[in-house]
Amino acid sequence: MSQAVHPAASSETAFPAFRVNSGDGPSLVPLDIGHASHLAVIDPDSAFWALVPREDLAETLEGRGLAAAYQTRAARFKDEMRALRFGLGLSAVYVNPTERCNLNCAYCYIPERMRRDGEHMSAERLLSALEILRGYFKERMPEGRLPQIIFHGAEPLLNKEAVFEAISAFHGVYRFGVQTNGTLLDEEGARFLMDHGAGVGLSLDGPEPKVADRTRKTWAGNGVHASVLRAMDLLAGYPGHNVICTVTRENLESLTAMVEFFHARKAPSAMLNMVRCTLPGARDIKPGDAEAARAFIPALERSHRLYLETGRKLVIANFANILAAIYAPTARRLMCDISPCGGGRVFFALAPDGGMYPCGEFVGLPGFRGGNLFTDPVDAVLASKAFSQVTGRKVEDIEPCRRCAIRHFCGSPCPAEAHEMRGGMDKTGAFCAFYGEQVRFAFRLIADGRAGDFLWDGWDAGTETLFDAATEPGLGGEARS
């Protein structure tokens, strides 16, 4: 047995004011981002990060330079993250005006019995719901900011008359959006939505029928690719529309072609969303994490090459959200990749019978029904046990998230699939490793100076730069939050 012997410290030794990764010093965890020259160092609690040359890592961890500059602002970063995670209030409602759908998609999170034989919400009941919500938001939303109502589903245009009557009646009271499969959108309907400034989301899972129709079919088994293309044509040039592609094992090999297709059709933005594995049908077509990353990242790179070649961006919004959140946590536009997620605190889902759920993913799961809009106070439902299961889900309580440096860039989505697929809210979602690769790719883009090409124009409007290494005396490079 041997023992290391160190010389005794002199009484003249000048101890540093703090030490990194111990005591009251900042926590800066090195992260290999797969870049030739740079590593990331991250404070997992505050989501502060910096990119440092590999050869400078030791100096950073000794508490000089970057670490010393960050330490003076660490408390403010943590306060900002705490406010984002626990201080936001309700600002949106996903309204399901019907339980029914004219499609039988393989991965749908709404149970089949509801989609086949479910109920519509009457126009009278829908108007009453929006009136109740108007009163709630009027007391709580900042003046000049409109709450958002997103008509979701199932397929909201199966109840088009009620939806359009509500949009007309409350125009200027809410910001409206409609997420539709596109098969029922005609010229008159498209014109109405555009004239009222409503956001319109379409769904298409492949650039050609033989791919798209594998997972998205009518109840009779017929594909709908051509119908969605007609809807895209009706919305061409409208900046308020986007297209969602749900990524499964059935279309993974077509993601790059999908990006080319969306760009050629001049879609302003698109989402390449990994399939939500809440119900068994989705799990049957779930791609593996590694194969998903191998297809997803080249598709992102293709969107960039198209931008350089044409000068026109196709923003892949779900990835742009991760990238924006790395730069500035409050700049994120989607609330799935934060912990707790936005479900049950920033938004909730309203069923046709008035039932309130933390998110549409939980519709059909009775244990997550928090109450009824027509009989229960909204705040009481938000505080209910059903909602608290979701709003109380934190990465600090999930293994391995509690040890993960990037936990606040990922958020371990999704609570519904964690509960249904993994067996509990203290479990990870379906794509842990994939989200890790997505974050590493985002950091590589930042290191190479390409990140802005993947973001929305004006993405940082309303944000404040609290720390920029390029402007700190004696520092250089990238370090922001």
Distance CA 229, CA 252 (A): 20
Cβ atoms of 303 and 447 closer than 8 Å = no
- Tally Cβ neighbours within 10 Å of residue 437: 18
Query: What is the model's pLDDT at position 8?
Result: 46
- Tokens standing for residue 265: 């059709």
Distance (Å, rounded) from C-alpha 424 to C-alpha 416?
Answer: 9
Per-residue buried b or exposed e for 358-386, using 16+ beta carbons within 10 Å of the residue's own CB: bbbbbbbbeebbbbebeeeebeebbebeb
Q: From the centroid of its chain, how far is CA 101?
A: 24
pLDDT score of 477: 54
Report the DSSP beta bridge partners of residue 92: 148, 347
- What is the CA 273 to chain-centroid distance, rounded? 9
Looking at residue 16, its pLDDT comes to: 65
Cβ atoms 352, 153 nearer than 8 A: no
Question: What is residue 69's predicted lDDT score, i.e. its pLDDT?
Answer: 84
Give, for all 481 residues of the chain, the pLDDT tens digit: 334 444 444 445 556 667 888 887 888 999 999 999 999 999 999 999 999 999 999 988 887 678 888 888 889 999 999 999 999 999 999 999 999 999 999 999 999 999 999 999 999 999 999 999 999 999 999 999 999 999 998 999 999 999 999 999 999 999 999 999 999 999 999 999 999 999 999 999 999 999 999 999 999 999 999 999 999 999 999 999 999 999 999 999 999 999 999 999 999 999 999 999 999 999 999 999 999 999 999 999 999 999 999 999 999 999 999 999 999 998 899 999 999 999 999 999 999 999 999 999 999 999 999 999 999 999 999 999 999 999 999 999 999 999 999 999 999 999 999 999 999 999 999 999 999 999 999 999 999 999 999 999 988 876 666 656 555 544 555 655 5
Please enumerate, as own/partner, the contacts of 255-261 that have beta carbons within 8 Å and a separation of 24 or more.
Answer: 255/295, 255/296, 255/298, 255/299, 256/295, 256/298, 256/299, 256/302, 257/207, 258/206, 258/207, 258/299, 259/299, 259/300, 259/302, 259/303, 259/306, 259/314, 259/316, 260/207, 260/302, 260/306, 261/207
Q: How far apart are CA 201 and CA 240, in angstroms?
A: 9
